[in-house]
């Protein structure tokens, strides 16, 4: 499309950092059409020139994460020549740490974060989310940091996975009409539980697409609006019974839903701890 904005990601590594910044910025511009183009493992001025040439003459912005000062200077120089808008994502962060600490950056392109305890906890948390997806492994829900409860297609699985990426052990329990939730759900510390809900019309639309993708004509009731209202009502009653907070995911990105879950659980954990201490 002629009005599509291109964001060209230039990095000496994978470009994930700049891509996350670009997507965060993109979210503030509504439904505007934006395409991301990655130019990864850029280590020379020649590679850099080719990447910038791809953005020249386009409706484009350039986000770059380069540790080599020479390459960062070259981006500024070439971008000025071709009238490109370029953002240095990493440089200001390196300069800030240098100024605050007096230390100098190692300037090693593509250097990854060390494999510390946080990294291994994140891996363990992601494995936990996989093993406790869609009601599996319900017998040891007490091991979870977060337990998500909601009907099918309320983003329980991706939210659990993102919580895992954040280092939180997340399990999710699907609520299906006519099937009782696992008994273990009612023995979990209440502060760990977060309900997920969604607008009925939006859920029907998501499920219709799912049914078409699976060519499952016999599953028409799965996307029936009347059935969906009943499911949501049943789930809302369960949420009240559990006394858990509920997040409406209708207009939330997965990252935002996960962040809200983490905040709610931490707030409730602290409140429960303070309550226990005051009673003691």
Do 240 and 140 have their domain in common?
A: yes
User: Token pair of 134, please?
Assistant: 């869609």
At 200, which CATH number? 3.40.50
pLDDT number for residue 112: 60
- 250/177 same-domain check: yes
With respect to residue 38, please indicate whether it lies within any of the assigned structural domains.
yes
On the question of pLDDT at 97 being above 80, the answer is yes
Cβ neighbours for 190, distance < 8 A, ≥ 6 positions apart: 242, 243, 244, 268, 272
Identify the pLDDT of residue 20: 86
Give residue 29's domain range: 5-101
pLDDT, position 36: 93
CB 62 within 8 A of CB 33: no
Tell whether 250 and 170 lie within a shared domain. Answer: yes
Q: What is the mean pLDDT of the chain?
A: 90
Boundary (domain end) residue, out of 66, 101, 136: 101
Q: What is the CATH number of the domain that holds 27?
A: 3.40.50.2300
Do residues 162 and 52 both lie within one domain?
no
Q: Is 40 inside a domain boundary?
A: yes
Tell me what pLDDT residue 1 has.
45
Instruction: Based on the fold, state whether residues 82 and 212 are members of the same structural domain.
Output: no
Q: Does 6 have pLDDT greater than 50?
A: yes
Q: Assess whether 161 and 249 both reside in one domain.
A: yes
Distance CA 52, CA 169 (A): 42
Partners of 60 in beta bridges: 6
Q: Which of 101, 131, 156 is the last residue of a domain?
A: 101
> What are the helix (H) ranges across the chain?
16-26, 45-55, 69-82, 91-101, 117-131, 156-165, 200-214, 225-242, 254-279
Q: Both 138 and 53 in a single domain?
A: no
Contact 181, 275 (CB under 8 A): no
CB 185 within 8 A of CB 141: yes
* Cα–Cα distance, 150 to 225 (Å, whole number): 17
Same domain, 18 and 91: yes
Count of domains for the chain: 2
| 123 belongs to a structural domain | yes
Per residue in 249-263, pLDDT (tens digit) is 999 989 999 999 999
| Residues 6+ away with beta carbon under 8 Å from 34 | 4, 5, 6, 7, 22, 26
| pLDDT above 90 (res 70) | yes
Task: Give the residues across from 65 on adjacent strands.
Answer: 11
pLDDT of residue 111: 61
Q: Whole-angstrom Cα distance, residue 248 to residue 260? A: 10
What confidence tens digit (pLDDT) does each residue in 185-242 have? 999 999 999 999 999 999 999 999 888 877 655 567 888 999 999 999 999 999 999 9
Is residue 153 domain-resident?
yes
Is residue 135 located within the same domain as residue 14? no
Residue 112 within any structural domain of the chain: no
Q: Are residues 257 and 223 in the same domain?
A: yes
113 — pLDDT class (breaks 50, 70, 90): low
Question: Within this chain, do residues 164 and 248 fall inside the same structural domain, yes or no?
Answer: yes
85 plus 196 within the same structural domain: no
Task: Report pLDDT for 215.
Answer: 66
pTM, full prediction: 0.67
Task: Give pLDDT, residue 280.
Answer: 65
pLDDT, tens digit, for every residue of 19-49?
Answer: 988 888 887 787 778 899 999 999 999 999 9
């Amino acid at each position: 499309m002629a009005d599509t904005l291109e964001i060209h990601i230039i990095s000496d590594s994978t470009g994930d950092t700049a891509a996350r910044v670009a997507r965060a910025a993109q979210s503030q511009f509504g439904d505007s059409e934006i395409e991301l183009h990655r130019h990864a493992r850029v280590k020379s001025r020649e590679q850099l020139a080719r990447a910038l040439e791809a953005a020249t003459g386009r409706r484009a912005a350039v986000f770059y994460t380069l540790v080599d000062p020479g390459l960062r200077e070259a981006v500024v120089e070439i971008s000025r020549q071709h009238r490109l808008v370029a953002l240095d994502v990493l440089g200001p962060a390196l300069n800030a740490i240098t100024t605050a600490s007096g230390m100098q950056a190692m300037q090693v392109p593509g250097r990854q974060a060390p494999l510390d305890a946080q990294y291994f906890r994140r891996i363990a948390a992601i494995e936990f989310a996989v093993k406790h997806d869609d009601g599996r492994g319900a017998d040891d829900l007490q091991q979870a940091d977060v337990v998500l409860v909601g009907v099918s297609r309320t983003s329980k699985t991706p939210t659990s996975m993102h919580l895992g990426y954040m280092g939180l052990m997340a399990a999710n329990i699907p609520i299906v009409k006519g099937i009782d939730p696992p008994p273990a759900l009612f023995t979990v510390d209440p502060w760990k539980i977060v309900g997920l809900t969604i607008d009925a019309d939006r859920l029907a639309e998501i499920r219709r697409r799912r049914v078409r993708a699976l060519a499952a004509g016999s599953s028409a009731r799965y996307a029936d609006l009347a059935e969906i209202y009943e499911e949501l009502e049943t789930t809302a009653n369960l949420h009240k019974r559990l006394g858990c907070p509920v997040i409406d995911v209708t207009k939330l990105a997965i990252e935002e839903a996960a962040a809200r879950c983490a905040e709610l659980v931490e707030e409730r954990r602290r409140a429960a701890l303070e309550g226990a201490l005051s009673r003691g």
